Structure 1
Amino acid sequence: MKLLYGTTAFIIYPLLVILVFLRKIFNKEDRNRYKEKIFPSSFNVKRTNNSKLIMFHAASIGELKSILPIIKELEKKYDNLEILVTTLTISSANLAKTELKKFKNATHRFLPLDVNFLMRKFLTNWKPDFIFLVDSEIWPNLIFLAKKRKIPLGIINARITKKTYKRWILFPKLARSIFGLFDLCIVSNQETKKFLENLNAKNIFYFGNLKFCENIESTQLFNNNNEFLKSNKFWLAASTHEGEDEFCLNTHIELQKKIKNVKTIIVPRHISRVDKIKKIGESLNLTCQILNPEDKILNDKEIIIINSIGKLQSFYKYSKSVFIGKSTIKKFEEVGGQNPIEAAKLGCKIYHGPFIYNFKDIYLLLAQQNVSKQVNNCRELVDNLILDLNSSKENNVDFISLINHLEQKILNDSMKQIKLFINENK
């Protein structure tokens, strides 16, 4: 199976090159750097003599954010250290360009396709001393080649869903040969720990989800409607999916019977849906505004629909209560939930539906601290929102303290194992 994977990857390499070029045409690849993924001549290697290189591979934005505190701690601990961060997406590359400037010697590159000759050349040129994969990033050729070169290999904040696990056990010999090569596994939830044990992994540790450790500077969050948000009663429906629009809009209808002039702000997961949400709202006789990036919220509108990306934190900053979507629709039973950590770190009381499989460990922790709560219908959500909106957000300050304490413990415990791993493999 290992040979079949390697051979197949090599055979389809020309097709993958064409695919990358097509993605560039449709602006799904970085127009200046896309060749880093497909040609060794574009790897653009920059190394310092006599330094140790730690490589992290994080697919996209969420994974990248989760390792920034780890990089910060490593720089404090070790001198003469270089960090190479590889990702796959344009958005993660843009974030890396900003965030990695904060470190002394950290570089970003796109990871090449998992084709044997590309990965071999990549490892030969960069010569990493340690490799950490992040979350669910499992690339067999990279893993096999790293171990062949005796490069210590870890996976941090590992996450394997039930669906992914079922796929892996279709090829048990390949799966066990891959996961048995990791020297350190720090997992993001208990379910992944169980799955990795079944897949022959070793040195498995669970301390919590490293996404709790993302640094959010609330003082740096700007919203050009901050005065409106500070002076009006509103609740936030975040990361909503198709099928949840009516739930949020009906919640508003019931809520406004109890609280005069209340506003509902909807931040859909996919902004291509804003016109559809507005149409549904208007069919329910609600006044709606699609809020573009530089727009001001109009006082005479009841429903504000956000038509921009990357603004969610700046709304969390002023929100007392937030409903987080992808959690009320039955078809999402095994893939449901959106990440509630940012909302929790910014002091929001969080509500969600019953389908939160992807983040059930996180929601369990938040529920234990009375930060989050499941609601099963509009009536339950309305009853809770009434209590929240008639109190001050200052009442939520304990949430932030609890989350910060949890964050520090997760980071400290994780770093203890990572430092031990590095020191034992110097």
Structure 2
Amino acid sequence: MPRSVLLAAYLAWSNRAERYGTRKLQQRLDAGKEDAERLGERRGIPSIDRPDGPLIWFHAASVGESVSLLEMIRRMGEERPDVSFLITSGTITSAEILASRLPPRSFHQYVPLDVRPWVRRFLDHWAPDLIVLAEAEIWPALLHEASLRDIPVALINARMTAAAHRKWRRFARGAARSLLHRIAHVQAQEGETAGRLMSLGLPPERLEVTGTLKEGSKALPHDEAERVALARALQGRPCWLAASTHEGEEAGAAEAHAQARRSWQKLLLVIAPRHPDRGDEIVSGLRLDGWRVAQRSADEPITTETEIYVADTVGEMGLWFRLCPVSFMGGSLVPIGGHNPFEPAALGSAILHGPHVENFADIFARLTNGNATCEVSDWADLGRTLAHVLEPDEAARMAHAAWEVCSSGADVTEKAMDLLFAMLDGVD
């Protein structure tokens, strides 16, 4: 296995980094980014017992990744009732969303920081038979400790941005090479990621390009009684969704809404912010601008007078994609990188987006090639485009085209399942 002086130095520091880790956790706790009642999990202290039998540990870097794993885990559990599944994530929002969706024999813990004593404590307790990392999480202490225990590691749905690649290549190429040799197999989302990983030293025989796992994920769930009640409250009014919005996008969406209302006078805008705890702030700003707003977390109903509905709740995106025939994907007219377009595509909502879709560039390119989405350049352009796409025939055409692109990659999940079962059973 290749050696790296920089990696050795990091591991030596990480072995004595408990004070640093404690200080970092306290800062995050003070900022409201940690769960005080479960803070011990971030130090590798378990809050539940390990189940008997084989255990696969899955870790996802983001909320979207966490959710995309659930359908695959459900299917794996059906095929192998002897296997249990540990799912870790690092944010409060992900924990809240996962809590209501965990498949049988699955449970959630917060992932420990990459501090060697905490990682060792975590691995000593859970003793996973297989570690599965999603996206591009490369943690030195974790990979080193897993290697010492001969625990196989798979990286699935791998995606490495150009910026991350430049950082590793410029400052820690030797360390990256040594760490990548500790990963038994990688399934990459696209060719660019595959090339970047190989340039950092990943052996090509351990790599395959399979596409994005989100293509095989199950459609987001919803409460049918709530959908019926909200549809009744709409009374046939046209509506559109600004999904997973970030700061600055709500005011822009309202600007586009005002323009589209010139053609659709009864039009309702549903805003579902990426971080629901911003709901009060969003509502206050919109009301100051003169909009008649109802807020879901405050149980305010949609009436004939409501112009904007702020859906500041967790775990209800499946409801809004089903209700709204057109969705604008947030994080794309501000430099965030966009969000998963397969979620609206799977539920029949036509997709609009801005130019900042780096996080899902390959997927958006395929949707664009299939005439399944529209890119807008600014908020005024969104308003003009929205007025056109709201026409029922156009919305239905785009939604059907997006669904065809979405459904064409369902074999990605099958490939990931085949790989993980083979690794679990020790099959080369």
**TM band (smaller chain):** 0.7 to 0.9
Pick 1 or 2: higher relative contact order, CA cutoff 8 A, min separation 6.
2
Give the counterpart of 1:214 among 200, 217, 220. Answer: 217
- Asked if the contact 1:152/1:425 (under 8 Å) is kept, the reply is no
Give the counterpart of 1:236 among 236, 241, 258. Answer: 241
Q: What is aligned with 1:346?
A: 347
Q: Which letter does structure 2 place at the counterpart of 1:338?
A: H
SS in 2 for 1:54: strand
Q: What is aligned with 1:323?
A: 328
Q: What is aligned with 2:59?
A: 57
Give the counterpart of 1:405 among 404, 407, 412. Answer: 407
Q: 1:8-23 residue pairs with structure 2 within 5 A?
A: 8-21=13-26, 23=28
Q: Which letter does structure 2 place at the counterpart of 1:358?
A: N
CA distance in 2, matches of 1:425, 1:93: 33
Q: 1:286-325 residue pairs with structure 2 within 5 A?
A: 287-293=291-297, 294-325=299-330
Query: After TM superposition, which residue ranges in structure 1, 4 or more long, deviate above 6 angstroms?
Result: none
TM-score, reference length from structure 1:
0.86
SS in 2 for 1:132: strand
- Asked if the contact 2:350/2:402 (under 8 Å) is kept, the reply is no
Q: What is aligned with 2:3?
A: none
CA distance in 1, matches of 2:426, 2:235: 52
Q: What is aligned with 2:133?
A: 133
More displaced 10-residue stretch of structure 1: 388-397 or 117-126: 388-397
Q: Report how many aligned residue pairs link the two structures.
A: 413
Q: CA deviation at 1:113?
A: 2.6
1:350-381 deviation line (CA, Å, top 9, x unaligned): 11112211111111122233321212245654
Identical pairs, percent: 27
1:160-201 deviation line (CA, Å, top 9, x unaligned): 112211221111110111112211111223322221111112
CA distance in 1, matches of 2:218, 2:329: 21
CA distance in 2, matches of 1:225, 1:424: 50
Q: What is aligned with 1:267?
A: 272
- Asked if the contact 2:259/2:384 (under 8 Å) is kept, the reply is no
The answer to whether 1:117 aligns with 2:117 is: yes
SS in 1 for 2:303: coil
Q: What is aligned with 1:82?
A: 84
Q: What is aligned with 1:6?
A: 11
Give the counterpart of 1:418 among 411, 420, 428. Answer: 420
Q: Which letter does structure 2 place at the counterpart of 1:73?
A: R
1:377-426 deviation line (CA, Å, top 9, x unaligned): 45654454334323166656634752562352221233233334444448
1:62-109 deviation line (CA, Å, top 9, x unaligned): 222121122223223335222222222333333443333x32x33333
SS in 1 for 2:177: helix
Q: Which letter does structure 2 place at the counterpart of 1:86?
A: T
Which structure 2 residue ranges, 5 or more long, are not aligned?
A: 1-5
Residues 234 and 12 of structure 1: CA distance in aligned 2, closer, same or farther (over 3 Å): same
